[in-house]
Structure 1
Amino acid sequence: MGRLIKAEFRKTLTLNTWWILLIPLVVVSFWMSFAWGNITNDFASYIGSGIARELAASIGLSPDNLPVGLLAISHGVNITQLIPAVFGVFALAGEYNSKTITTTFLTAPNRVSALTAKMISYIAWGALYGLLSFGVAALATVITVDSPGQPSGGQWLGALGGTILAYILVTLFGIGLGAVLNKVVLAVLLVIGYFLIIENVLVLVLWKWASVLGGILPNGTANGIVGGIAAEAFGFNSLNIPGDTGHFDQLGLQLAAGAPGVISWWASALIFAGWTAVFFVGGWLSNQKRDIT
């Protein structure tokens, strides 16, 4: 197994995909957090002084001491989750496209071993992408957010752990989707179109009647891991948002955390892990007997 894992890393490092995707990851994560850091630095003006006071009172802080840095971090790392998802698509679908899958399967004892080695190596890649994304998002947050709005030590660690977990799961999700579809271009377009447009439109349009959609669909639950940590720090996830908050004010508050409909970070992680398992296991099974000639 060790040799198979080493072969997977060598195979990936011989391509340009891994470092080319790092460029938009670093740039977008930094500038998204930078922009949101400037916006949320004056959080009371952003959401309204009355709501800000109510939220601050519910968690025992003054409005000036709310950890708005978490909002900047969550937006930075959430938007760039697309990068490891696209990277994951190339894991199997890319090999079928380039015809290297034949060598991969024929040089391994069996397909289970080959796919297990690929999964382990891409878990490491997902963790690396998550660490880099969090690092640049954190840097932008430190630059833009005033000291009273910086997260506490535990919140920094929670956001870091949540980011790494989310990026690992999103990478595996991309592998599974690419393996099921077996077409790189189709899978990449579907990932980008669904995560950026389709689901967001559905959640916003149907919010009045089905606000739960953001807390159970793939994009919402992927965003809800880090976004849920931010939402819980402010007391506006679906479990503890003030009861007299207007329906669409709830949407605005959860959008501020980058995760509309979020239930809690751990629920989002479990639900998205379920989505990941569906596609990953589906891709795994479909590749056990797929023709490689």
Structure 2
Amino acid sequence: MMGNLVKAESRKIITTKSWWILLIPSVAFALAFALFWGAITNDLNDYLGSSDARELAGLLGISLGELPVGLLALAHGVNIGTIFPIIFGVFALAGEYSKKTITTTFLTAPNRGSALTAKMLTYIGFGAIYGLVIVGAASLGTVLTVDERGLPTAGQWLGVLGAGILATVLATLFGIGVGAVWNSVVGSVITLTIWMLIVENVLVFVSFGWLDITWLGGVLPNGTLNGIVGAIGAEAFGAAGLSVPGELDEDLQWLLQYTAGAPGAFAWWVSAAIFLAWTMVFFLAGWAANQRRDIT
């Protein structure tokens, strides 16, 4: 029975335009941001090869001019792309309520729990597809702009691929949860976009600049989602997930994390665990709301 429900959900997605319409800008933004940051990071590697940065490089334990700065381009490309799997996830339930198709979905399943489980499994699969495509686009932008000496190793690239897929899968589930709680596509998309691209970034900058709080980005939803991939680059700088040399103050650590697209991040797996917690809060709240919500 579950297999048939998953097939039905897959067909429902494929026969609509939203999944590929959202895939197009996710590829475009991932590629554009990777191209932009790739061009910038080449200059960063040149700076790290200068005499002025020799002491800093020694503290970080890196070889001058050989830092895999391509990780920064990859991280920024993937991170901007993950906003679209979130929006895609919003359509899972909120979209069906707006189109009045949720009644058929619930009535053709043994119970609402089965219908929601089938949605979750189906959207996990599509979230993974988004991850593959977004990482591919960001990788292309990185290869086109980053000098060979700054490209990540094969192991680091595989790490970004795995982390990118994990991020987009969780982002999709997060979107499902928010849409299920809000029960409105427009309201969910506008709220999420404003929060994740504007409000949270302002909070992180204000907390760092005025309150001297460097960890806030490592616990808020957008910061933790970005940290899943961004912290891999930060770790290459020795600024996340590792013991930062005592000579480096928290401000410098935060700035290095910000350059990697993950201000406040602790480690990639910690970011994944915290964002998973955020995802479960909204997903379970949406699940509970839809067990009681009237569909007539």
**TM over 0.5, shorter chain:** yes
2:294 counterpart of 1:291: yes
| CA contact 1:88–1:122 (8 Å) conserved in 2 | yes
1:31 corresponds to which residue? 32
TM-score, with normalisation over the residues of structure 2?
Answer: 0.94
Tell me which moved more, 40-49 or 269-278: 40-49
CA distance in 2, matches of 1:291, 1:54: 65
2:108 corresponds to which residue? 107
**Structure 1 residues 19 and 213: alpha-carbon distance in aligned structure 2, compared to 1, 3 A threshold:** same
Q: 1:153 Cα shift? A: 1.0
2:231 corresponds to which residue? 228
CA distance in 2, matches of 1:205, 1:5: 45
CA distance in 1, matches of 2:164, 2:260: 14
1:255 corresponds to which residue? 258
Calculate percent identity across the aligned residue pairs. 59
2:265 counterpart of 1:273: no
Q: How does 1:113-262 map to 2 (within 5 A)?
A: 113-207=114-208, 208-237=211-240, 239-262=242-265
CA distance in 2, matches of 1:228, 1:80: 16
Question: Unmatched 5+ residue regions in structure 1?
Answer: none
Tell me which moved more, 244-253 or 282-291: 244-253
CA distance in 2, matches of 1:238, 1:48: 24
TM-score, with normalisation over the residues of structure 1?
Answer: 0.95
1:3 corresponds to which residue? 4
| CA contact 1:236–1:242 (8 Å) conserved in 2 | no
Aligned residues: 293
| CA contact 1:231–1:237 (8 Å) conserved in 2 | yes
**Structure 1 residues 163 and 50: alpha-carbon distance in aligned structure 2, compared to 1, 3 A threshold:** farther
Q: 1:245 Cα shift? A: 2.9
| CA contact 1:56–1:62 (8 Å) conserved in 2 | yes
Q: Which amino acid aligns with 1:14?
A: T
Tell me which moved more, 20-29 or 46-55: 46-55
**Structure 1 residues 287 and 49: alpha-carbon distance in aligned structure 2, compared to 1, 3 A threshold:** farther
CA distance in 1, matches of 2:78, 2:123: 18
| CA contact 2:116–2:287 (8 Å) conserved in 1 | yes
Q: Which amino acid aligns with 1:215?
A: G
Tell me which moved more, 118-127 or 205-214: 205-214
| CA contact 1:89–1:175 (8 Å) conserved in 2 | yes
2:15 corresponds to which residue? 14
Q: Which amino acid aligns with 1:198?
A: V
**Structure 1 residues 247 and 284: alpha-carbon distance in aligned structure 2, compared to 1, 3 A threshold:** same
Q: 1:47 Cα shift? A: 7.3
CA distance in 2, matches of 1:58, 1:104: 58
Question: Unmatched 5+ residue regions in structure 2?
Answer: none
1:98 corresponds to which residue? 99
Deviating 4+ runs (over 6 angstroms):
none
| CA contact 1:44–1:52 (8 Å) conserved in 2 | no
CA distance in 1, matches of 2:22, 2:51: 42
CA distance in 1, matches of 2:33, 2:241: 25
